[in-house]
Amino acid sequence: MDAIQQEIHVSFQYPVHFTTGVFTAANPLLRDVVTRPGASGASRVLVVLDSGVEAAHPGILDAIRSYFGAHSSSIELAASVVVLPGGEQVKNDLSHVERLLAAMHAAALCRHSYLVAVGGGAVLDAAGFAAATAHRGVRLIRVPTTVLAQDDSAVGVKNGINAFGKKNYIGTFAPPFAVINDFAFLATLTDRDWRSGVTEAVKAALIRDAAFFDFIEANAVAIAGRDRAVMEQVIRRSAALHLAHIATCGDPFELGSSRPLDFGHWAAHKLEQLTDYRMRHGEAVGIGIALDTTYSYLAGLLPERQWRRIVGLIHALGLAVYAPALSERLDTPQDPRSVLRGLAEFQEHLGGRLTIMLLQDIGRPLDVHQIRIDLMRESIATLKTFDGVPAANAGQKAS
């Protein structure tokens, strides 16, 4: 047998900026990010906007047009702003991505043009998939507008849309050109979106930084009460932890079976599906973290005190640790309407053998390759009655 063994080393670099008023004419950040040194002519940009952001910020379309007008010598708005629906709706219907691809084609964007995506994580996911596939890669700039997008999803390298009833079944690994976190967008979030976005920061703290967990715990009341200064610290630290993990843990494109940044996510993704995506991703992640933490405790891995701290923190942030959908059809783990089916779907999504991250302590994760179904059922039953914590009833659907 004869073979040529090829090896490719590729380095990716992208900045994550923090600012306020990204579309204020006096703020040069976006202009500077897309201005190419030595290039002739203005950089061409297409902007895609989350409809929820448009509704919450009625003047944003005019602000975007005015910003490009003020910097017309350096940047060009290649076409009218494309407005897409926010939330999982944009990821559940491929026609939204097709519409964006058609707009990119009509604007004659090239691989040195820019797609600036402004919105929550779902719109950024859909826009990122379109950018990664048009010409095999148009430069993407993410402008996340929610806590969850700013502290987690926008700073990573993944894009995806839902298909066949599965979360992110279609997608790409494609680092962005840049990320711009504008804290001003957080002011108009609902309390539900403000609080639920913190669960990804809790996740990052649990698997990488015990001191950060202590900080979130000490400031839980302030966070739930919408203290913006504290929230900005949470977002910055969470983003830094996510970036450090992607850059230094040896598997940025998830070729292996271990996915630490998906701690608590096997159940979270299934809960979103079981509630027809009426449950926010952050809400589902909070429940998923509580579930895997409870399993860790009942399996003898995690001390009881730490278990109670973790589940108590999620509650203190104003989030539920249990939802009725968790308890449906537990006697038939392979039933598509059972949360336990999420284990098999998670294994299929990541490939290789089943690998679930659990906890030995705060900041000390452990990969396991087998889950005891009886103990997972007990974990669900335990959460259902945990110190009277209310269930997440919003968005539940009777089977």
Our count of domains for the chain comes to 2
Instruction: Provide the 10 A C-beta neighbour count for residue 263.
Output: 25
Instruction: Please tell me whether residues 259 and 142 are part of one structural domain.
Output: no
Q: Give the 3-state secondary structure of residue 244.
A: helix
Residue 10 lies in a domain: no
Instruction: Please tell me whether residues 48 and 154 are part of one structural domain.
Output: yes
Final residue of a structural domain among 188, 206, 237: 188
Q: Which residues contact 282 (CB under 8 A, 6 or more apart)?
A: 147, 148, 193, 195, 196, 197, 198, 199, 200, 319
Digitized pLDDT (tens) for each residue of the chain, 399 residues in all: 799 999 988 888 999 999 999 999 999 999 999 997 777 789 999 999 999 999 999 999 999 999 999 999 999 999 999 999 999 999 999 999 999 999 999 999 999 999 999 999 999 999 999 999 999 999 999 999 999 999 999 999 999 999 998 889 999 999 999 999 999 999 999 999 999 999 999 999 999 999 999 999 999 999 999 999 999 999 999 999 999 999 888 778 777 666 788 899 999 999 999 999 999 999 999 999 999 999 999 999 999 999 999 999 999 999 999 999 999 999 999 999 999 999 999 998 877 789 999 999 999 999 999 999 999 999 999 999 875 555 554 333 332
Final residue of a structural domain among 188, 206, 231: 188
Residue 380 lies in a domain: yes
Instruction: Please tell me whether residues 171 and 266 are part of one structural domain.
Output: no
Instruction: Please tell me whether residues 176 and 89 are part of one structural domain.
Output: yes
Residue 222 lies in a domain: no
Residue 179 lies in a domain: yes
Give the per-residue pLDDT at 252.
80
Q: Which tokens is 103 given?
A: 């707009």
Q: Where are the alpha helices (DSSP H) in the chain?
A: 29-34, 51-56, 60-70, 89-92, 94-106, 121-133, 147-151, 191-196, 199-208, 210-218, 220-224, 228-248, 265-274, 281-298, 304-316, 341-350, 373-384
Instruction: Please tell me whether residues 279 and 175 are part of one structural domain.
Output: no
Q: Which tokens is 68 given?
A: 């490009």
Final residue of a structural domain among 134, 155, 188: 188
CA distances from 380 to 19, 182, 196, 321, 383 (A): 41, 38, 20, 10, 5
| DSSP code of residue 188 | G
Range of the domain at 292: 251-388
Give the per-residue pLDDT at 397.
33
Instruction: Please tell me whether residues 135 and 283 are part of one structural domain.
Output: no
- Read off φ and ψ for residue 167, nearest 5 degrees: -70, 130
Q: At residue 311, what is the residue type?
A: V
Instruction: Please tell me whether residues 107 and 22 are part of one structural domain.
Output: yes
Q: Which has the closest alpha carbon to 342: 352, 334, 351?
A: 334
Instruction: Please tell me whether residues 258 and 176 are part of one structural domain.
Output: no
Q: Determine contact, residues 295/379, Cβ cutoff 8 Å.
A: yes
Instruction: Provide the 10 A C-beta neighbour count for residue 15.
Output: 10
CATH of the domain at 98: 3.40.50.1970
| DSSP code of residue 183 | G
Instruction: Please tell me whether residues 33 and 171 are part of one structural domain.
Output: yes
- In 120-191 the beta strands, taken as DSSP E runs, fall at 139-144, 158-163, 166-173, 178-182
Instruction: Please tell me whether residues 181 and 32 are part of one structural domain.
Output: yes
Instruction: Please tell me whether residues 22 and 133 are part of one structural domain.
Output: yes
CATH of the domain at 311: 1.20.1090.10
Residue 283 lies in a domain: yes
Instruction: Please tell me whether residues 262 and 168 are part of one structural domain.
Output: no
Q: What is the pTM of this model?
A: 0.92
Residue 291 lies in a domain: yes
